[in-house]
Amino acid sequence: MRNTEGVRALALLVLLTVATPALADPPSQQAVADERLSEAKDRYQKGVEAYSQGRFKDSVDLFLAADRLSPSAPLSFNIARAYEKLGDDSGALRWYRDYVRRAGNAPNVGDVAKLVTHFEGKLQAKGVQQLTVLSEPAGATVVVDQAPVGVTPWTGDLQPGTHHVVLTLRGYGDSASDVELSPERARDLTVTLTAAPSPAAAAAPAAVAQPTSPPPTQAPPPATDRESGGGLGVWPWVALGAGGLTLGGALAFELMRQSSEKAAKEEQTQVGYKEEFDKMESRRTTARVLAAVGGSLVVLGGVLLVVDLTGKKSEKVGSLAVSAGPGELGASFRGNF
């Protein structure tokens, strides 16, 4: 019936209006930057409180979290002081050296350089010395003497001598270097990676001879007559079931995110902490996307079910098309109304 088909089309328009906010555009870069800065300040203040209370391990964790959100030279200095209070010579040396890199011509760079020399001596007495590997862009996998050790920026304690360092990053050519690490001084290795050449374009296909006359145009198939009954069959239930499963997946990833957050707080090493933190961020994003998609599918299934129930007396079936893609959901309906 024409009125019934009109109700279907109106319901689908309402669906698009409801589903669109769930897949709204992400916040602007400035909004994201402001949020990260606000969170970094909060972590910093909590780190200062922990340091003043003698909870130096907590202060290290909080300062490191703030530095990941908004890196700065003062944070490097605070992290080094906290490690020094913990008696961690390697951690103190790493972050005092990081402060010297970041601070530029700050008035106290000379005093901090003396602290660097002091802790280099501490490591020398233990039979090791510190190597830092930096790359542009960052995030390259670091392989030292054929053993993967982390990603750039990476710092580790090695025995003095020659070490073979390889950097790998998808989209860039590998970089290999032999580094001589002296017993007395820590060393930086800075590498600028070169973008890998793009693959050669595929050969163009051979020209195909054109027919002398265009092929006959096929008429579209006529609408399918059917008896009174459910207009959309199982599709409303498929949408509802898929939505429920997707929401269940969102819940699972949220639980996994909480587990990664807990593991990150308990991690004792910087590399381990970064791995767990990256897992937490990835699982949080996946949970949010699944929740948005699952919610949209549930709404879609509900609206389709209403449309199906109100259209049981129609004599012809319209055509329904639903499409989904990254960041968008679309639907169209064609019928007589």
Q: pLDDT confidence of 331, banded at 50, 70, 90?
A: low
Roughly how many angstroms between the first and final C-alpha of the chain, as a whole number?
7
Percent of the chain with pLDDT over 70: 74
DSSP labels, 73-99: HHHHHHHHHHHHHHT-HHHHHHHHHHH
Comparing CA positions, the residue from 147, 146, 130, 139 lying closest to residue 189 is 130
Instruction: Determine the pLDDT at residue 263.
Output: 78
> Residues 280-298: what's their mean pLDDT?
84
Measure the CA angle with vertex 77, ends 112 and 111; round to 5°: 15
Bigger pLDDT: 274 or 219?
Answer: 274
Range scoring the smallest mean pLDDT among 60-69, 258-267, 271-280, 324-333? 324-333
Judged by DSSP in three states, 176 sits in: strand
Q: For 112, phi and psi rounded to 5 degrees? A: -70, -35
Task: Report the range of poorest mean pLDDT among 29-38, 281-290, 298-307.
Answer: 298-307
How does residue 323 score in pLDDT terms, banded at 50, 70 and 90? low
Helix (H) or strand (E) holding 21: none
Taking alpha carbons only, the member of 163, 307, 337 closest to residue 233 is 307
Place of tokens 């820590």: 186
Mean pLDDT score across all residues of the chain: 80
What SS3 state is found at 324? strand
Report helix, strand or coil for 316.
strand
Domains annotated for the chain, with CATH where assigned, are: 2-22+229-334 (no CATH), 128-192 (2.60.40.1120)
- Three-state DSSP state, 115: helix
14 strand-pairing partners? none
pLDDT digits over 168-208, tens only? 999 999 999 999 999 999 999 999 999 998 766 445 555 55
pLDDT at 45 exceeding the cut of 90: yes
Q: Is 80 exceeded by the pLDDT of residue 7?
A: no
Residue type at position 212: T
Say which residue the tokens 């259209």 belong to.
Answer: 311
Whole-angstrom Cα distance, residue 55 to residue 5? 68
Question: What value does the CA radius of gyration of the chain take, rounded to a whole number of Å?
Answer: 30
User: Per-residue pLDDT for 78 more than 80?
Assistant: yes
- Tell me, what's the pLDDT at 231? 63
pLDDT (0 to 100) of residue 247: 86
Residue 233 or residue 124, greater confidence: 124
